[in-house]
Structure 1
């Protein structure tokens, strides 16, 4: 990871992540109260987060 971030391309990708991913996660936490999942298993968690993301799209 450190090698990837030290390259110019890696820094560029990481900078873009701030604008693409972080606001969505922040909205999930602030507006929808999703701080953690109470389910077990990857498929269950994917379904749970999928429902939250679908509801976020409906609110848009």
Structure 2
């Protein structure tokens, strides 16, 4: 169960960073936030939970 919680928390974190990247007016900050989102998404795709999401 703790692994499931960590996975859900990571998905929420990705969404928060996506929103921040869209709302920021500083182009450098927006680019850094998009890079963070890409890194977090890559980690999620490598997690064992990602297969369960694709099947759902």
Same-fold call, TM > 0.5? no
Using structure 2 for the length normalisation, give the TM-score: 0.41
**Structure index of larger Rg:** 1
Report the structure, 1 or 2, having the larger helix content.
2
Larger RCO (CA within 8 A; separation ≥ 6): 2
Using structure 1 for the length normalisation, give the TM-score: 0.39
